[in-house]
Structure 1
Amino acid sequence: MNWYVLYTKPKWEKKVAERLTQIGVECYCPLITQIKQWSDRKKKVEVPLFNSYVFVQLSEIDRNSVFNIPGVVRYLFWLGKPAVVRDEEINIIKSSLKATNVSDISVSSIQVGDRIKLDSGAFTNQDAIVQEVSKTHYILVLESLGCVLKIKYK
């Protein structure tokens, strides 16, 4: 059986994981503890590591059974097929979250306006500003070289 990635409504990850467990579906919603501050207090809360994602382990035949759960939107797709996560990757996430020497974990994506440092290719160690992010490419501005770099991916 494969691990698939379910896309959920925002802030529904824990509810979806709980309901999937109730109907007997093997699922995993990695949670991290964060300190949230309100105007009158601070509180430790568990929040999902990946916003709007829950991992489910199902056979190909049973994949549609998850759509009976409120909050499930769709499967995450990669290259036109449902995204499959290897067991080793799930185990790495689990073991990383259990590690006692980790103090802060966050997951973010590249956004327009972000400043990044390129870590591979011909422009290694160059600072760049993200100008555009699309499904097929990134456009980066390399100010120090006075040029614009377009990176295509498949």
Structure 2
Amino acid sequence: MNWYVVYTKPKWEKKVADKLNQLGIECYCPLITQIKQWSDRKKKVETPLFNSYVFVHLSDSDRNLVFQAQGVVRYLFWLGKAAIVKDQEIEIIRTSLKDPNLSDVSVSAIQVGDKIKLESGVFINQNAIVQEVSNNYYVLVLEALGCVLKIKYK
């Protein structure tokens, strides 16, 4: 069995997770507690860590069962296949969110100008600056090597 990423309608993450649990499908919707302020009050609210994503743990043959839950749009794909998340990555998320010293968490996409460190491939451990982001590729500047790297993905 693998962990897959299900894409949901906006703001439906918790509803989809509840419905999947009712259907007997193991799922995980990581939540963080934030203090939201309105004009008349402040309130602690649990919000999903990843907007429009819920993780489901099931076998490849049972993948279509998730579409019985209202609010499920599709699976997240990576390189033409359904994206698989490793068990240890799910466990890292779970344990990290249980840390009492955790105060502020946010998830954002890579943007132009971000400084990153490459974690795999030929240029592993090289620092880079994101120069361009498109639907099919990233353009990174590797200053230490004096070159521009274009990473294409499908």
TM-score, normalising length from structure 2? Answer: 0.82
1:26-65 aligned at under 5 Å gives the runs 26-65=26-65
Aligned to 1:18: 18
Aligned to 1:87: 87
Tell me how far apart the structure 1 counterparts of residues 10 and 76 of structure 2 sit (CA, whole Å): 14
Aligned residues: 148
Aligned Cα RMSD in Å? 2.6
Structure 1 residue 102: Cα displacement: 1.6
The one-letter amino acid paired with 1:11 is K
| Alignment gaps of 5+ in structure 1 | none
- Percent identity over the alignment is 67
Distance 1:4 1:118, change over 3 A: closer
Query: Which segment drifts farther, 101-110 or 44-53?
Result: 101-110
User: Secondary structure at the residue paired with 1:24?
Assistant: coil
Structure 1 residue 137: Cα displacement: 2.0
User: Secondary structure at the residue paired with 2:117?
Assistant: coil
Aligned to 2:151: 152
Tell me how far apart the structure 2 counterparts of residues 125 and 58 of structure 1 sit (CA, whole Å): 37
Structure 1 residue 81: Cα displacement: 0.8
Structure 1 residue 150: Cα displacement: 5.2
TM-score, normalising length from structure 1? Answer: 0.82
Distance 1:118 1:13, change over 3 A: closer
Distance 1:137 1:27, change over 3 A: same
User: Secondary structure at the residue paired with 2:114?
Assistant: strand
Tell me how far apart the structure 2 counterparts of residues 85 and 125 of structure 1 sit (CA, whole Å): 25
Aligned to 2:117: 119
Following superposition, which runs of at least 4 residues in structure 1 exceed 3 angstroms of deviation?
Answer: 118-121, 139-142, 147-150
Distance 1:92 1:125, change over 3 A: closer
Tell me how far apart the structure 2 counterparts of residues 4 and 148 of structure 1 sit (CA, whole Å): 36
Structure 1 residue 140: Cα displacement: 5.9
Tell me how far apart the structure 2 counterparts of residues 60 and 125 of structure 1 sit (CA, whole Å): 37
- 1:61-80 Cα offsets, whole Å, 9 max, x none, are 11101111110000001111
